[in-house]
Amino acid sequence: MTSLLSKKQIYMEGGYMLDSSNMVLGVLYLMGGLFGMMLSFYIVLCFIQWISDVIEEKRWLVWREWFRYDG
C-alpha cells in the first residue's frame, strides 16, 4: 500500500488537477481560448464582408485608376 505522499506525487505527475487554483486556471484558459477563437472568426467574417462590399460596389475600378496614375 502506498503512502499519502506518494499518491499525491503520482497524481501531480499524472497531470490531475487536485488544487482548486489549478481548476480555476484551467477554466480561465478554456474560456480565453474560446474567446480567442470567436474573435478570430469574427475578424475573418469582417474581412469577407469587406471583400464582398468592394466587389459589389466596384471600388476596385477606382483603385485601378489610382494605381495607373503616372504623375
Which pTM was predicted? 0.57
Contact 17, 26 (CB under 8 A): yes
Per-residue pLDDT reduced to its tens digit, 2-59? 555 555 555 555 555 556 778 888 899 999 999 999 999 999 999 999 999 998 988 8
Joined grid coordinates for residue 69 = 496614375
**If we measure between CA atoms, which residue out of 26, 67, 17, 59 comes closest to residue 8?**
17
**If we measure between CA atoms, which residue out of 47, 65, 67, 66 comes closest to residue 55?**
47
Instruction: Note the pLDDT of residue 70.
Output: 64
